[in-house]
Protein backbone atom coordinates (compact mmCIF):
# COMPACT_ATOMS: atom_id res chain seq x y z
CA UNK A 1 0.00 0.00 0.00
CA UNK A 2 1.34 3.42 -0.90
CA UNK A 3 1.61 6.15 1.76
CA UNK A 4 -0.93 8.29 -0.10
CA UNK A 5 -3.48 5.45 -0.24
CA UNK A 6 -2.91 4.62 3.43
CA UNK A 7 -3.46 8.27 4.42
CA UNK A 8 -6.71 8.39 2.43
CA UNK A 9 -7.95 5.03 3.73
CA UNK A 10 -7.28 5.70 7.43
CA UNK A 11 -8.00 9.45 7.38
CA UNK A 12 -4.57 9.96 8.93
CA UNK A 13 -3.98 13.35 10.54
CA UNK A 14 -0.49 14.85 10.61
CA UNK A 15 0.76 13.07 7.48
CA UNK A 16 1.00 14.35 3.91
CA UNK A 17 2.23 12.69 0.76
CA UNK A 18 3.11 14.43 -2.49
CA UNK A 19 4.13 12.73 -5.70
CA UNK A 20 6.36 14.03 -8.44
CA UNK A 21 9.35 16.30 -8.34
CA UNK A 22 10.08 17.59 -4.82
CA UNK A 23 7.50 15.16 -3.49
CA UNK A 24 7.74 12.82 -0.56
CA UNK A 25 5.99 11.74 2.60
CA UNK A 26 6.00 14.22 5.44
CA UNK A 27 4.85 13.86 9.04
CA UNK A 28 4.37 16.00 12.11
CA UNK A 29 7.50 16.07 14.27
CA UNK A 30 5.87 13.98 17.05
CA UNK A 31 4.88 11.29 14.55
CA UNK A 32 8.39 11.29 13.09
CA UNK A 33 9.96 10.83 16.55
CA UNK A 34 7.71 7.85 17.29
CA UNK A 35 8.50 6.32 13.91
CA UNK A 36 12.22 6.78 14.64
CA UNK A 37 11.85 4.92 17.93
CA UNK A 38 10.08 2.10 16.10
CA UNK A 39 13.03 1.75 13.70
CA UNK A 40 15.67 1.63 16.44
CA UNK A 41 16.49 3.27 19.75
CA UNK A 42 19.84 4.45 18.40
CA UNK A 43 18.10 6.21 15.52
CA UNK A 44 15.65 7.85 17.93
CA UNK A 45 18.49 9.20 20.06
CA UNK A 46 20.21 10.53 16.93
CA UNK A 47 17.02 12.32 15.84
CA UNK A 48 16.48 13.83 19.30
CA UNK A 49 20.05 15.14 19.41
CA UNK A 50 19.71 16.69 15.93
CA UNK A 51 16.48 18.50 16.76
Alpha-helical regions (H) of 1-51: 3-10, 29-39, 41-50
* pLDDT tens digit sequence for 1-46: 888 888 889 998 888 888 889 888 888 888 888 888 888 888 888 8
Residue-level pLDDT at 3:
83
In the DSSP assignment, the letter for residue 24 is E
Residue 51 has pLDDT above 80, yes or no: no
Residue-level pLDDT at 48:
81
Number of domains in the chain: 1
Residue-level pLDDT at 6:
85
As a whole number of angstroms, the distance between CA 18 and CA 27 comes to 12
As a whole number of angstroms, the distance between CA 35 and CA 10 comes to 17
What domain range includes position 22? 3-50
Amino acid sequence: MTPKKWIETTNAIGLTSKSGRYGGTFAHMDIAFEFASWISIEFKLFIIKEF
